């Protein structure tokens, strides 16, 4: 056999090995995703203990999921509602379809929603609500508006919408205690 033929065969073997490895990795990923999907389809309520001893509960009920800890809860799904104890610092826009709600106390809260109103109308409404309640505007452009008051900051962000003719947005307020601080 000539050296050139050996090189061609070695290259073909290496390419075949790479293809086999890639196929093996893809199959392994499919198996792992299937196992994870099976686990979550059969385990709808999970309680997790963190390293520092805190408890986090994850619950799934149909198209809704809830994550709870001692500070509050986050709900996401097609049938989410504003809870009765929701922060008064977060105005509720009228005529919305909620997609998620974060409720962690009197000051820390937020939600994401969809409306048929355009983005400019959404931002203008929140600007009026917040400034009339004594909040200061710290930033504003076509994609959102940010506010501050006392030890709190808040914002409204326009999100990409999956449906033509609708506006998706998020609104949230955090106290300085709810804002993660950098650590050295």
**Domain harbouring 140, CATH code:** 3.30.310
Q: Does residue 116 lie in a domain region?
A: yes
Count the residues in the chain: 184
- Sheet with 152-159: list strands edge to edge: 45-49, 55-61, 64-69, 72-77, 97-103, 109-115, 167-175, 152-159, 144-149, 136-141
Closest C-alpha to 108, from 152, 70, 58, 68: 152
Tokens of 36: 């994870």
Tens of pLDDT along 133-181?
999 999 999 899 999 999 889 999 999 888 899 999 999 988 876 555 5
What is the C-alpha to C-alpha distance for residues 119 and 124, in angstroms, rounded to an integer?
Answer: 9
**Which band of pLDDT confidence, cut at 50, 70 and 90, is reported for residue 120?**
very high
- Domain of 30, in residue numbers: 1-43
Residues 29 and 76 in one domain: no
pLDDT at 104 over 90: no
Q: Does residue 24 lie in a domain region?
A: yes
What per-residue confidence (pLDDT) applies to 37?
62
* CA 27 and chain centroid, separation: 29
What is the C-alpha to C-alpha distance for residues 19 and 88, in angstroms, rounded to an integer?
Answer: 58
What per-residue confidence (pLDDT) applies to 178?
52
What dihedral angle (degrees, nearest 10) is formed by the CA atoms of 110, 141, 181, 76?
30
What is the C-alpha to C-alpha distance for residues 17 and 10, in angstroms, rounded to an integer?
Answer: 10
Tens of pLDDT along 21-48?
666 667 767 776 665 565 555 557 888 8
β 55-61/45-49 pair status:
antiparallel
What per-residue confidence (pLDDT) applies to 18?
56
* Contacts of residue 119, Cβ cutoff 8 Å, sequence gap at least 6: 142, 143, 158, 167, 169
Residues 85 and 15 in one domain: no
Domains held by the chain: number = 2
């Amino acid at each position: 056999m000539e050296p050139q033929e050996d090189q061609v065969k070695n290259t073909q073997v290496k390419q075949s090995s790479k293809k086999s490895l890639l196929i093996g990795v893809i199959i392994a990923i499919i198996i792992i995703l299937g196992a994870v999907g099976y686990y979550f389809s059969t385990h709808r309520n999970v309680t997790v203990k963190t390293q520092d001893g805190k408890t986090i509960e994850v619950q799934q009920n149909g198209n809704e999921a809830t994550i709870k800890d001692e500070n509050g809860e986050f709900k996401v799904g097609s049938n989410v509602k504003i809870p009765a104890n929701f922060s008064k610092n977060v105005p509720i826009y009228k005529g919305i379809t909620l997609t998620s709600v974060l409720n962690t106390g009197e000051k820390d809260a937020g939600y994401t929603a969809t409306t048929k109103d355009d983005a400019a109308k959404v931002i203008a409404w929140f600007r009026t609500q917040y400034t009339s309640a004594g909040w200061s505007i710290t930033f504003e452009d076509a994609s959102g508006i940010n506010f501050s008051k006392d030890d709190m900051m808040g914002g409204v962000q326009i999100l990409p919408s999956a449906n033509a003719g609708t506006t998706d947005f998020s609104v949230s307020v955090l106290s300085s205690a709810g804002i993660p601080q950098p650590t050295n």
